[in-house]
Amino acid sequence: MYIYLDESGNLGFDFSKKETTDFFVVTLLITKTFMVNRHIQKAIERTIKTKFPKKKRASVFELKGSKTNIEIKKYFYKLVEKYDFEIFTLVLNKRKVYNYLEEDKERLYNYIASVTNKNA
């Protein structure tokens, strides 16, 4: 099994700060075979090579969901749509988190990761 993970948002809880997000999102893309994983790796490489200017390619190591425009995402999806993979997403509404977890971000993150993995 091969797992790709992307996070969006942050685990800050001071909502008076502009950079604090209301939600923390974890998304997993999971493949179960070496060959599908290899195809996905090749699709990532091809997407970076094809869709990013040559000068920028050296600094692009991954396709970040929050920083990649929709056209690039569509291009990547076209390359992988025929392969067998699953996507799981967990969305945490941070305004509904218990107070004691706000103070223990490591525990909160570990809980989110364990819930996401159980659903996978």
Q: What is the pLDDT of residue 102?
A: 87
CB 24 within 8 Å of CB 8: yes
Please give the tally of structural domains in the chain. Answer: 1
Q: What is the pLDDT of residue 78?
A: 96
CB 108 within 8 Å of CB 48: no
d(CA 80, CA 109): 29
Q: pLDDT (tens digit, 0 to 9) for every residue of the chain, 120 residues total?
A: 999 888 889 898 999 999 999 999 988 899 999 999 999 999 988 998 888 777 666 666 677 777 788 999 999 999 999 999 999 899 999 999 888 888 888 888 888 877 666 655
Q: What is the pLDDT of residue 103?
A: 86
Half-sphere exposure of residue 14: CA atoms within 13 angstroms, side-chain side: 4
Q: What is the pLDDT of residue 118?
A: 62
Domain residues for 89? Answer: 2-119
- H or E, element range at 30: strand 23-31
